[in-house]
Amino acid sequence: MQGYQLTFFTEQNKRHRGKPLADWLVHLAEEMGLRGATLIPAAEGFGRHRRLHSAHFFELADQPVEVVMVTTQDEAERLFERLRAEGVQLFYVKTSVEFGMLGEAS
């Protein structure tokens, strides 16, 4: 199947509708019936403002996180439409991919 890998980059302390933005994205994917979403915490990174973000033992609020999803074209369009309607400000990477399942469902 052809589609997109969508990777969203944010920080643990960014919030939307009272929830951490990354968690909100994962729940949005579930609510919209997407195939899945994975939240990946990162140790360190920097963004467009060249400010270093990292996970420290005592302070995880600034920790970089990614949310990765694989979608069809229609699912990606619906998701981006929803994100625009919600007014979410978020950096993303959208990559064309081939995806599928191997083996038998258990």
Q: Over the stretch 29-85, which tens digit does the pLDDT of each residue have? A: 999 999 999 999 876 666 666 555 555 545 555 678 999 999 999 999 999 999 999
Instruction: For residue 102, name the pLDDT band (cuts at 50, 70, 90).
Output: very high
The answer on pLDDT for 100 being more than 60 is yes
Domain count, the chain: 1
- Please list, in sequence order, all residues whose beta carbon lies within 8 angstroms of the beta carbon of residue 27, skipping any fewer than 6 positions away: 19
Range of the domain at 79: 2-98
pLDDT given at position 77:
98
Residue 78 lies in a domain: yes
Residue 34 lies in a domain: yes
- Give the CATH number of the domain where residue 28 resides: 3.30.70.120
66 closest CA partner among 24, 10, 6 = 10
pLDDT given at position 50:
58
